[in-house]
Chains A and B, each alone.
Chain A
Amino acid sequence: MPGLMIDREVLIEAPVEVVWRTITEPDQVRQWFADRVDLVVEPGAHGYMEFGDQGGPVVVEVVDPPTRFSFRWNYPRGEEPVAGNSMLVEFTLTPEGDERTRLRVVESGHELLAWPDAEKQRYADEHRDGWVDYLDRLITLLAKRQSR
């Protein structure tokens, strides 16, 4: 899904180290993400996640404790995930004081990497408010059209 981008965030009343452990320790990941998690949190590590009767491989990209963690998934079986054939999930943790953390997740098909810088910037600008705003706009326009 190369063009898709989801951008969400949440404010958590806990220090950044606690949030980091929640999103990276397999025991914890099992509780918020997948039923089965085989994951070593090291750059380049290949893992596996299972959801109900579906599952798929994941590859860890960036591990920069306690602020950045990313992995690729949703890529064709038998292929190595690269920009263009997979989805990249990026977590960014920003401490706000000692006991509060802003957690942002961006899931995207990073064909962006191959784009010229100006285009990338424009894309990033357009996405600052997230895909869902664009969606809302589309849905509103759609509703208007249908009621005409």
Chain B
Amino acid sequence: MTAQTDDELWSAIGDPSRRRVLDLLLSNGEVSASWLAGRVPFSRQAVSKHLVVLERTGLISRRKQGREVLYQVEADRLDQATRAMAELAAQWDRRLATIKRLAETAHAENKKRNRHEG
């Protein structure tokens, strides 16, 4: 993933309304925009806008079935995105673990020193 697509991806998922749409698509498979609009607390127009943004990031795709347009999640792309996000979280966990070790070691040494001086 390039930095540019990363940006689009994170801002796409960063919006709570879009996450709602994404969740519905994930749990229900292929559905239409009007089906989604019946299940969210925002307008049909808003649903369409969110679908456009999600589609641009490659997280969802659409196909025509008769007169209807159906949307579905692109599992590989979403998988890639969640892995990248999990890796960032894991990176911070590793850093925090090191901070913990450094601070606790420094604290133990301070105490030892104080005992000697006291």
Contacts and interface: CB of A to CB of B under 8 A. Distances in A.
Contacts of B103: 12, 14, 18-19, 22, 101
B104 to A, nearest CB: 5
Contacts of B11: 1-3, 109, 111
Contacts of B85: 4, 6, 131-132, 135
Contact of A18 (B6, B16, B22, B110): B110
Chain A interface size, as a band, is 35 or more
Given A141-B23, A142-B75, A18 B107 contact: yes
Interface string B45-84: 0000000000000000000000000000101001100100
Contacts of B99: 10, 12, 19, 22-23, 32, 103
Interface string A122-148: 110010001110110111011001100
A109 B10 CA distance: 9
Interface string B13-24: 111100100110
A135 B110 contact: no
Nearest to A104: B96
Contact of B26 (A6, A12, A28, A142): A142
Contacts of B96: 8-10, 103, 105
A6 B106 CA distance: 27
Interface in B86-105: 86, 88-89, 92-93, 95-100, 102-104
Contacts of B86: 132, 135
Contacts of A13: 104, 107
Interface string A103-122: 10101010100000001001
A99 interface: yes
Contacts of A142: 26, 73, 75, 78-79, 82
Given A8-B89, A14-B107, 5 more contacts: A1-B6, A4-B85, A105-B92, A141-B26, A145-B26
18 contacts: A1-B6, A2-B11, A3-B10, A6-B85, A9-B96, A10-B96, A14-B106, A18-B110, A19-B99, A22-B106, A32-B95, A32-B99, A131-B85, A135-B85, A141-B27, A142-B26, A142-B73, A145-B75
The 4 tightest CB contacts between A and B, nearest first, are: A3-B14, A14-B107, A32-B98, A3-B11
